[in-house]
Amino acid sequence: MSHLPAMSLYAEVLDKVAALVTAAFGLVAALAWNGAIQELFKEVFGTAESLTAQTIYAVVVTIVAVVVTILIARSAAKAKGETET
């Protein structure tokens, strides 16, 4: 039976902690942006307390998130030298 190089427990724990801390900072940034975008939405459209306003907000944020995610993925692929299909 062949064995893959074993990662030390310390290195594995450090790797997982680094991933969790990175995810935590991402969550904090997302919450900060959420608050800022909600305030901007209120400035532009008035109160955002109705179901219709919240639905419009959710749809707009989702569309922006999808577009930005696609652009980032394309940029990352280009930086790695991959070609688009």
- pLDDT band at residue 60 using 50, 70 and 90 as cut-offs: confident
DSSP H helix total and E strand total for the chain: 2, 0
pLDDT tens across 11-57, in order?
A: 899 999 999 999 999 999 999 988 888 888 788 777 767 777 788 88
> Would you list the domain boundaries of the chain?
9-79
Collapsed DSSP state (helix, strand, coil) of residue 81: coil
Decide if pLDDT at 83 tops 60. no
Detail the DSSP E strand segments found in the chain.
none
Question: pLDDT at residue 2 above 70?
Answer: no
> Can you give the pLDDT at residue 45?
73
Please say whether the beta carbons of 41 and 48 come within 8 A: yes
> Which pTM value belongs to this model?
0.56
